[in-house]
Chain A
Amino acid sequence: MDKRDNLIEVRNLKKFFSIGDNTLKAVNDISFEIKRGETLGVVGESGCGKSTAGRTILRLYDATEGDVLFEGKSIMNLNQQEMKAMRRNMQMIFQDPYASLNPRMTVGDIIGEALDIHGLATGQKRKERIQELLSLVSLNPEHMNRFPHEFSGGQRQRIGIARALAVEPKFIVCDEPISALDVSVQAQVVNLLEQLQEKMGLTYMFIAHDLSMVKYISDRVAVMYLGKMVELAESDALYEKPLHPYTQALLSAIPIPDPEVERNRERIVLQGDVPSPMNPPSGCHFRTRCPKAMPECAASVPVWKEVEPGHFAACHLYN
């Protein structure tokens, strides 16, 4: 694979939080690349570290260990001034359309903030740029003086997208951007993200727990479980031939909106809950719920390995 194609490279990234005397290994040694112009989906259940990974990649959290390269350049050692400039390249769209917009600021000021911080436009030009951004996400430019609470969830999420686009970034981390929205509105936001990607050549890291939407939007999909990446593959390959038992269970758990299919479906229902990330099981973290667990799963951590071309998995079944 041509290395120059990688917009983002994540190398052995770790992010630990200390909580009292315990260490929460939220992200525990993950490595992957995101190619220019692609959408990498990251899925997993709550507590798997997918959001922490996204935030650490953007240096909203300081990494415990590891490196993140943007266009081949490490961002971990940039000083404050350099990091501020780097932020124009990488942006984020948040999950909660209610908490992600400052309730005391008008929509115009929320979107204009990026312009102010980086000195991109002032006065009349600022106003025009804000209105242009609002139109870009199909919102009425006349609404720039309204407050966030006057908008619906989907409209607010589009305001968040306009804010991220204000600095003309190359890379956007979408942190569960649709999980708080109504189904009919989810498609609006996803379609908008796809249009913008095409128009502006954006690269996305799309974090979600909804696998059907991730499958729809992503070129490649990574599956995380308790801070570790367990599988990474081309979207179609992952859904057609999931290798890791966790991925298999995850896919099987999703109800399909088709009564006939549902009546004739055998599903793998995992037993028990996700263990606490404070105190994960030894060896393979998934072994306590894995229907195919073997003695060696408790003994050693499975290696991250390219099982098939472009299809990675960390599971003792493939060692």
Chain B
Amino acid sequence: MERILDVKDLHVSFHTYAGEVKAVRGVNFHVNRGEAVAIVGESGCGKSVTAQTLMKLIPMPPGEIKKGQILFNGDDIVKKSKKEMESIRGKDIGMIFQDPMTSLNPTMTIGSQITEGLIKHQNMSKAAARDRAIELLTMVGIPQPERRVEQYPHEFSGGMRQRAMIAIALACSPKLLIADEPTTALDVTIQAQILDLMKELQKKTGTSIILITHDLGVVAEMCDRVIVMYAGKVIETGTVDDIFYNPQHPYTKGLLRSVPRLDLNRDEPLTPIFGTPPDLLRPPVGCGFTARCESAMRVCQEIDPELNDISTTQRAACWLQHPLAQNRA
């Protein structure tokens, strides 16, 4: 399969008054063409920072890419200049944010926000761009698109704004769409609409999607593969079936156990993960999950485990995978 994105050993830090916060600490993953990949994890695990770094949207300073490569179609994004990034953003990579209100420009009509990219990246004429904008609004299911192109974001409801955001992100048919918690701010019935829309559009356009979310239900519905992040590192990756039916890392297991399920009986107790994630100002020496892990061993405190192959599709970073620990797992 063709890799459209390949992230290698990415380190991102933020410099704060208290010192350097190592938000992303050596992340490796890839995205294949036409695939939907989820990045899941708790807040502060580095999933949003990773996504924003892919677009170089983190403020620098205080942010800094310390190390690593982000190969998009073989080109290293880390080395791109501001100018080059501008032509990648919107054209090759589209992005959808959690809160459409803050990511839409309130003083521009929805139409001109869609056509902006088309005119800039694809040298379309104004009239052609407008026709394409109407087409896009129709595609994302906005009724009366001819009237809607002339309207401003505040005239749209929350769900409609997110649809408009998707239309803007897809305007130049990007090869990769990064969706950062795209439905978190929406009501469930609207979330269902947006997820349906994203699935349908992906089928139609063949765009790869990186979906950042904390909602495992959304992952199960939308994605092919899952990347689980914890404390700035990838601790497990695999297909959705691997992750949901055969999780290997205690954190992944814990995450799945802590979510209530609508289709199961309520007598089953929820098992929370105790404690809080480590402060990345002073990341622990060993595995970041040790302090919260029920199966912690001496080695976990001392050496950080690396990602090891479980199967051809699944990898996990946990000492329980080590031969010497097998009798315990």
Interface, chain A (partner B; CB < 8 A): 45-46, 152-155, 182-188, 190-191, 209, 211-213, 215-216, 235-236, 239, 249-262, 267, 269-271, 273-274, 289
Contact of A213 among B254, B255, B260 (CB under 8 A): B260
Binary CB contact string for chain B from 254 to 272 against chain A (1 if under 8 A, 0 otherwise): 1110111111001001111
List of B residues within 8 angstroms of A254 by Cβ: 188, 217, 262
Q: Which residues of A contact B255 (CB under 8 A)?
A: 183-184
Q: Which residues of the partner chain B approach A251 to less than 8 Å between Cβ atoms?
A: 262
In the complex, which of the residues A211, A215, A257 contacts B220, with contact meaning CB atoms closer than 8 Å? A257
The answer on a CB contact under 8 Å between A257 and B42 is no
Instruction: Give the complex CA separation of A251 and B215 in angstroms.
Output: 16
Q: Name which residue of chain B comes closest to A46, CB basis.
A: B187
A215 to B188, CA, bound (A): 15
Contacts of B276 in A (CB 8 A): 152, 154-155, 185
Say yes or no: is B33 at the interface (Cβ < 8 Å to chain A): no
Q: Taking beta carbons and an 8 Å cutoff, which residues of B are in contact with A? A: 42-43, 157-160, 187-193, 195-196, 214-221, 240-241, 244-245, 254-256, 258-263, 266, 269-274, 276
**Contact across chains for B240 and A259 when beta carbons are under 8 A apart:** yes
A310 to nearest B CB, angstroms?
A: 17
Most B CB atoms within 10 A — which of A236, A257, A261, A274?
Answer: A257
Q: In the assembly, what is the distance between CA of A182 and CA of B48, in Å?
A: 14
Across the interface, do B189 and A270 meet the contact criterion of CB distance under 8 Å?
yes
Given contacts A212-B262, A255-B221, contact A191 B188 (CB under 8 A): no
Q: How far is the CB of B250 from chain A (nearest CB, A)?
A: 12
How many whole Å from A257's CB to the nearest CB in chain B? Answer: 4
Please determine whether B187 and A45 come into contact, CB atoms closer than 8 angstroms: yes
What's the A-B contact tally at a CB cutoff of 8 Å? 132
12 sampled A-B residue pairs with Cβ under 8 A: A46-B187, A152-B276, A184-B272, A185-B272, A187-B258, A191-B272, A215-B260, A254-B217, A257-B256, A259-B240, A259-B241, A259-B245
A155–B158 alpha-carbon span in the complex (Å): 30
Contact (A273, B270) CB under 8 Å given A254-B217, A257-B216, A257-B217 = no
From A184, A212, A274, A289, give the contact of B254 (CB < 8 A): A184
| Cβ B220 vs Cβ A255 within 8 A | yes
Of the residues A191, A267, A271, contact of B270 by C-beta under 8 Å: A191
Q: A184-B255, A216-B270 are in contact. Are A153 and B43 (CB under 8 A)?
A: yes
> Which A residues are CB-close (under 8 A) to B188?
45, 209, 211, 250, 253-254
- Whole-angstrom distance between the alpha carbons of A267 and B189 in the complex? 11
Name the B residues within 8 Å of A273 (CB-CB).
157-160, 190
Cβ-defined contact, B192 with A270, below 8 A: yes
Q: Contacts A258-B220, A259-B220 given: A253-B272 contact, CB under 8 Å?
A: no
Which of B220, B255, B262 gathers the greatest number of chain A CB atoms within 10 Å? Answer: B262
In Å, the complex CA distance between A211 and B188 comes to 9
In the docked arrangement, what's the CA distance between A92 and B171, Å? Answer: 46
Bound form: Cα–Cα A184–B262 in Å: 17
CB distance from A263 to the nearest CB of B (A): 9
Q: Across the interface, do A188 and B272 meet the contact criterion of CB distance under 8 Å? A: yes
Task: Report which of B189, B219, B256, B270 forms a contact with A250, defined as CB distance below 8 A.
Answer: B189
> Which chain B residues border A155 with CB–CB below 8 Å?
276
CB proximity of A222 to chain B, nearest CB, Å: 16
Known A259-B241, A273-B159, A273-B160: A253·B189 in contact at CB below 8 Å? yes
Chain B residues with Cβ under 8 A from A260's Cβ?
241, 245
- Inter-subunit contact B254/A255 (CB<8 Å): no
Pairwise interchain contact A187-B271, C-beta atoms closer than 8 A: yes
CA distance A15 to B256 in the complex (A): 40
* A187 contacts across to B, CB distance below 8 A: 258-260, 270-273
Q: Indicate if the CB atoms of A270 and B272 lie closer than 8 Å.
A: no
A253 B220 Cβ-Cβ under 8 A:
no
What separation, in Å, do the CA atoms of A211 and B221 have in the docked complex?
Answer: 17
Instruction: Report whether B218 and A255 are in contact in the complex, using a CB–CB cutoff of 8 Å.
Output: yes
User: Are A257's CB and B259's CB within 8 A?
Assistant: yes
Query: Which residues on the A side are within 8 Å of B259 (C-beta)?
Result: 183, 187, 212, 257
B158, B160, B216, B270: most-surrounded residue (chain A CB, <10 A): B270
Q: How far is the CA of A244 from the CA of B220 in the complex (A)?
A: 27
For A261, the closest partner residue in chain B by CB is: B263
A235 touching B217, Cβ below 8 Å: no
Q: How far is the CA of A271 from the CA of B274 in the complex (A)?
A: 40
A271: chain B residues at CB < 8 Å are: 193
Q: Establish whether residues A212 and B261, one from each chain, have CB atoms under 8 Å apart when the complex forms.
A: yes
B residues near A46, Cβ cutoff 8 Å = 158, 187
How distant is B179 from chain A, measured CB to nearest CB, in Å?
15
Q: Counting chain B CB atoms within 10 Å of each CB, which of A182, A212, A259 scores highest?
A: A259
**CB distance B42 to A45 under 8 Å?**
no
A261 neighbours in B (Cβ, 8 Å): 220, 263
Chain A residues near B270: list those with CB within 8 A.
187, 190-191, 216
Complex Cα gap A256–B272 (Å)? 18
Q: Which of A182, A249, A250, A267 contacts B42 (CB 8 A)?
A: A182
- Which partner residue on chain B sits nearest A192 by CB separation? B272
Complex CA distance for A188 and B274, rounded to whole angstroms: 7
Q: Which of A182, A255, A267 contacts B214 (CB 8 A)?
A: A182
With the chains together, A226 CA to B215 CA distance in Å?
26
> Roughly how many angstroms separate A184 CA and B259 CA in the complex, as a whole number?
7
A185 neighbours in B (Cβ, 8 Å): 42, 272-273, 276
- CB neighbours of A45 from chain B (8 A): 187-190
A211 engages B187 (CB within 8 Å): no
Which residues does chain A contribute within 8 Å of B159, judged by CB atoms? 273
Question: Are B215 and A182 in touch, CB under 8 angstroms?
Answer: no
Given A187-B272, A253-B192, the answer on whether A262 and B221 have CB atoms closer than 8 Å is: yes
